[in-house]
Amino acid sequence: MPLSSPNKISLTEQPKVDEIRENKRKRNDENNPSPLKRARELDDPANMTDSQRKPNFSALTTPNNGITRHSSPLSNNKPGAAKKLVIKNFKEKPKMPENFQQETWRKLCEAVEAIHKSCSIRYSLEELYQAVENMCSYKMSANLYEQLKLVCEAHVRTCLEQFKADNSDYEQFLKLLDFCWQAHCRQMIMIRSIFLFLDRTFVLQNSTILSIWDMGLDLFRANVISDKVVEVKTVDGLLRLIERERNGEAVNRQLLKSLLRMLSDLQIYKEAFEKKFLEATDRLYAAEGQQLMQERDVPEYLHHVDKRLNEETERLLHYLDQSTKKPLIACVEKQLIDQHLPQILNKGLDNMLQENRIGDLMLLYQLFTRVNHGQKDLCSMFAVYIKKAGRMIVINNENDPDKDKEMVQKLLDFKDKIDNIIDVCFGKSEKFVNAMKESFENFINQRQNKPAELIAKYVDSKLKAGNKEATEEELEHLLDKIMVLFRFIHGKDVFEAFYKKDLAKRLLMSKSASVDAEKSMLSKLKQECGAAFTSKLEGMFKDMDLSKDLSLALKPYMQNLDVAGLIDLTVNILTMGYWPTYTPMEVHLPPEMIRYQEIFKKFYLGKHSGRKLQWQPSLGHCVLKAQFPSANKELQVSLFQSLCLLLFNTGNVLTYEEILTATAIEESELKRTLQSLACGKPTLRVLSKKPKGRDIEDGDKFYFNEEFKHPLFRIRINQVQMKETPEENTSTTERVFHDRQYQVDAAIVRIMKTRKTLSHNLLISELFNQLKFPVKPTDLKKRIESLIDRDYMERDKDNPNNYHYVA
C-alpha cells in the first residue's frame, strides 16, 4: 500500500529528530531562557516535567505535522532513501565554577532570609529558580534541602520567643499567633516557589522526605505549637472566645476560623482542640439544660434548644472543622434533649396538646426525632394524653344528659384535632396513627353502651329532615368521620339497635332528609361490619319499597269498590323480624277509619294468605284539614294527634278524662300528644289548656283555639314523643343484652362441638376471644348452666370443672 510507506519512514526517523530537538531546546534553555516559558514552568511545573520526559509522538498521529515534516530538510527525501546522521560529542566538556555551590547557596540563603524578614529580594526570582535547578542538576539536592530546613527552623524558633515573652490578654495573643501563622504560610509558599524544582525532583523521589510545604508545617508544629505554654494558651483562648460567643457576644469569627484552620493544617485539631472543646460544650449545656428546665416552661425551653442547635450548626459552617459536626451536635442533643426527655413530656406535652399549639408540637417532634427513644417516648405519652382527655369526654358519672348530648360532637372535634396534630406536627407517622387508634378504642369503650347509643343518635339527628346545616357533601364527609368513631366501638350491636330504632322512625314518619344519605350510611355500615349486620336494616328499606307498590295497587282497588272517599290511604307493612318490636296498642278510631282498615285488610290478605295484620296506631300519621275562623289549614300530625283533634268536632271544651276515654290512647302517650297540641310553641297551639302550664294533669280542660293564626297553609306539628322515653331506652338496651345471650349460647355450642371436652377456664378464655362485645364471666357461667339444663353439654362426672359436648 503506498500510503503506509511514509509512516514507516517517519517511525524510524522520529527518535533522531526528537533527539536533536531535545538537545537544541536544552541548550536554548540554559543560555537563553524565554521569559514566557519560565513563567509557565513556574506556574505549572508538572506540565514542564511531563513534556521534558516524553518525546513528542503526537507528530505520528497528527497529519498536519506530517505535512510540515515533509518540507523539512531531514524528511523531504523520497521514501526509502534515508540518510545517516552522525552526532558528534562536544569537543570540550563544560566545567563547573569552583565555588559554585557556596555561591549559589549564599544567594538562595540571602533570598530566604529576605523573605523571612519580609524585605525585597535582591535577585530576580527567575535567577533563583535557575540556581535551584542547577544545584539539583549537579546532585546537590540533599544538601540544599538540609540547609534550607536549617534556615527555616532557625527563623521559626525566633517566632516562638515572642509568644513566650508575650503576656498580653488571650485575644491579643491569638491575634499575634494568627499573624505569625499567616506570615509563615505566606513565606513558605514563596520559598516553595523558588525551591520548586527541588520539591518536584528530589523530594518526590524520596518518599521519606517531607515536601517543602509540609516541612514548613512540621517546623511550625514542632517548634511553636508543641510548646506547652503556647498550645495551652492557644486552645484556652479559642475556647474562651467560643464561650463568649455562646453567651451572646459578637467575636472575631475570622480569627477563630483562621486559627482552627491552622490547627487542622498542623493536624493537631483533634487531640489539642476538639476533645477539650467537646468537654467544654458538654459542661456548658449540661448546666444550661438543668437550669433552664427549672426556670422556663416547656415551649420556651424547646425554642431555646432549637436556637442552640442552629447556633452550633452555624458555628460549624463558619469556623469549626466539619469532622466536629457529629460529636458536637450529638453532645448538644444529649445534654439539652435526651437528658430531659421525661421532664419535657411530663411537664409540657399535655398543655401543648390541650392548647393545640401546632408550632410548638412540630418543634417538639423535630427535636425528639433527633434522639434515641425520643419518638417512642413521645408516642407513648401522646397515647396517654389521648386516653386521659378522651375519658374526660366519655365518662359521665353524674349521668348529666347535657354532657351526653355533646359527647359525640366533642369526640369528633377531638378526633379532628388529634388528626390534625398527627398530620401537621408528627409527620403523619404511622406509629402515632396507630397509637391514636389504640387510645381511642381504649377510652371510648371505658363506658359501656352509652357511646354507641349516642353515636347512633347523633347520626339520626344528622339524617333527619329539617337538618339544613349541611350540604350533601358535608353530610357525607360527616358520616365518614362518624364511621371512624364507630370503628372504635366494641358494642356494635348496641349501635345497631339504636340506629335501627331511629331509622324506623325516620322511614315511617317520612322524616328522612335524603334517601341517598341513608343508603350511603347503610353501605358504610355494611362495609364495616359485613352484610349480616345490615341485612335487617336493608330489609326495612325493602319493606318500604314493597309498601309503596302496595299503595299504588290499592288505589284502583278502592276505586273499584267505589269507596274512594275522603281519605287517601297508604299503609306501610312491616315484616316483624326486620323492625324494632313495638308494643301493640288498641285505640278507638272513628268508624270511617275502621272501615278503611277493613278494606285494606281484605285487600292485603287477598294477596298474601296465611298472614295476619297487626295495626300499629302509634306509628301512623295523618294530614288533617282544619278550619279555623281565620283560615283553613292543613295540619300534618300523628294519628294520635288527629284522634284528639277530631274529638273537637263535637264540642269546644273537653276534659282530659273525656279525651282519655274517647280515644283509649295509653296515658303517658296521650299526655305527650296533648302537650304537643296545647303546650308547644305559642304559634303552633291548636288547643288551649286550662289551667295553663307545661305539664298535663288530670282534670285539665282543653279548648279549641279559635284565635289560631299561622302564616303557612301546611303546618307540621311535631310530636313530643319524638323524644325518647327512658323506658324505650332501657328496653332497647335490654333487647341488645337479650340478643347477646343467643350469641353467647351459639359460641359455647360451637366451641364445645369442635373440642368435645374442655375445662371451664379454657372454655371461658376461648369465649372471650370469639365474642366481639364485653361480657362478664358470671354471665357466661349462667349461659353454661342454661345449656347444661337444656342437654347441650354436661359436666364430667369426676371433675366438675370439665365439660363434655352432648351430641
Partner 1 sequence: MLLDQFNFHYISGWTAVASWRWIANDENCGICRMPFDGCCPDCKLPGDDCPLVWGQCSHCFHIHCIVKWLNSQQVHQLCPMCRQEWKFKE
Give residues in contact with partner 1 (CB under 8 A): 508, 510, 532, 535-536, 539, 566-579, 582, 592-593, 596-597, 600, 604, 608, 610-617, 619-629, 634, 639, 642, 645-646, 648-649, 652, 704, 706
Q: How far is the CB of 766 from partner 1 (least distance, A)?
A: 24
Shortest Å distance, C-beta 802 to partner 1: 28
Contact 379, 438 (CB under 8 A): no
Q: How far is the CB of 569 from partner 1 (least distance, A)?
A: 5
Return the number of the residue (42 or 626) whose C-beta is nearest partner 1: 626
793 phi/psi in degrees, rounded to 5: -150, 170
Which CB, 211 or 786, lies closer to partner 1? Answer: 786
The torsion region of residue 139 among left (phi > 0), alpha (psi -120 to 50) and beta comes to left
- Nearest CB to partner 1, comparing residues 239 and 573: 573
Which residue lies nearer to partner 1 by CB, 79 or 590? 590
CA distance 230 to 226: 7
What does the CA dihedral 366, 370, 372, 375 come to, rounded to 10 degrees? 10
**In angstroms, what is the minimal distance from the CB of 620 to partner 1?**
5
- Cα distance between residue 128 and residue 195, in whole Å: 8
Return the C-alpha torsion angle 549, 552, 555, 558, nearest 10: -10
Q: What strands, in cross-sheet order, belong to the sheet with 701-704?
A: 653-655, 701-704, 687-690
How many other β-carbons are positioned within 10 Å of the β-carbon of residue 19? 13
Q: Which residues pair with 716 in a beta bridge?
A: 636
Taking alpha carbons only, the member of 457, 573, 444 closest to residue 507 is 573
Give exposure, 529-555, as e/b (b: 16+ Cβ within 10 Å): beeebbebbbebbebbeebeebbeebe
Closest approach of partner 1 to the CB of residue 669, in Å = 15
Pick the closer one to partner 1 by CB: 213 or 628.
628
Query: How near is the Cβ of 644 to partner 1 at its closest, in Å?
Result: 10
Helix axes 531-561, 591-607, angle to 10 degrees: 110
127 grid coordinates: 535567577
CB 430 to partner 1: min, Å: 38
Q: Judged by CB, which is closer to partner 1: 216, or 617?
A: 617
Minimum Å gap between C-beta 466 and partner 1 is 18
Smaller CB separation from partner 1, 106 or 790: 790
**320 burial type by CB count under 10 A (0-12 exposed, 13-18 middle, 19+ buried):** buried
Comparing CB distances to partner 1, the nearer of 246 and 633 is: 633
Do 758 and 794 form a contact (C-beta atoms < 8 A)? no
- Beta carbon nearer to partner 1, 213 or 582: 582
Cβ-Cβ contacts under 8 Å for 430 (sequence gap 6 or more): none
Of 67 and 566, the one with the shorter C-beta distance to partner 1 is 566
Q: C-alpha cell of 479?
A: 358520616
Residue whose C-alpha is closest to residue 740's, from 505, 453, 487, 449: 449
Residue 203's nearest CA partner among 153, 141, 148 is 141
Q: In angstroms, what is the minimal distance from the CB of 444 to partner 1? A: 30
477, three cell numbers = 364527609
Amino acid at 66: G
Identify any residues that bridge with 759 across adjacent strands, giving them in sequence order. Answer: 802
**Shortest distance in whole angstroms from residue 544 CB to partner 1:** 11
Q: Which is nearer to partner 1, 273 or 704 (CB)?
A: 704
CB of 588 to partner 1, least distance (A): 15
- For 446-463, letters b (16+ CB in 10 Å) and e give ebebbbbbbbbbbbbebb
Distance CA 420, CA 426 (A): 9
Q: Shortest approach of partner 1 to residue 401 CB, angstroms? A: 29
Q: Of 170 and 582, which has the nearer Cβ to partner 1?
A: 582
Looking up cell 539536592 gives 141
Q: How many Å apart are CA 753 and CA 803, to the nearest integer? A: 11
Q: Are 645 and 624 in contact (CB under 8 A)?
A: yes
- Distance between CA atoms of residues 133 and 48, nearest Å: 13
Q: How far is the CB of 732 from partner 1 (least distance, A)?
A: 18
CA distance 455 to 333: 46
The rounded distance, in Å, linking the Cα atoms of 413 and 396 is: 18
Coil vs helix vs strand at 759: strand
Measured from the CB atom, the residue of 608 and 738 that comes closer to partner 1 is 608
The alpha carbon torsion through 168, 172, 175, 177 (nearest 10 deg) reads: 20
Between 106 and 608, CB nearer to partner 1: 608
Smallest gap from Cβ 647 to partner 1, in A, equals 10
Q: Which of 33/539 has CB closer to partner 1?
A: 539
Q: How far is the CB of 724 from partner 1 (least distance, A)?
A: 18
CB-wise, 76 or 627, nearer to partner 1?
627
Rounded Cα gap, residues 15 and 781, in angstroms: 112
Cβ neighbours of residue 621 closer than 8 Å, sequence gap 6 or more: 509, 636, 637, 638, 639
Provide the minimum distance between the beta carbon of 629 and partner 1 in the complex, in angstroms, as a whole number.
Answer: 7
Least separation in angstroms between residue 573's CB and partner 1 is 6
| Alpha carbon distance 136, 142 (integer Å) | 9
Q: Residue 434: enclosing H or E segment and its boundaries?
A: helix 430-444
Query: With respect to partner 1, which residue has the nearer C-beta, 323 or 570?
Result: 570
In whole angstroms, give the CA distance from residue 91 to residue 96.
Answer: 16
Give the whole-angstrom CA distance, residue 729 versus residue 110: 112
Q: In the bound complex, what is the minimum distance in angstroms from residue 793's beta carbon to partner 1?
A: 18
Give the nearer residue to partner 1 in terms of CB position, either 319 or 704: 704
CA atoms of 624 and 686, how far apart (whole Å)? 12
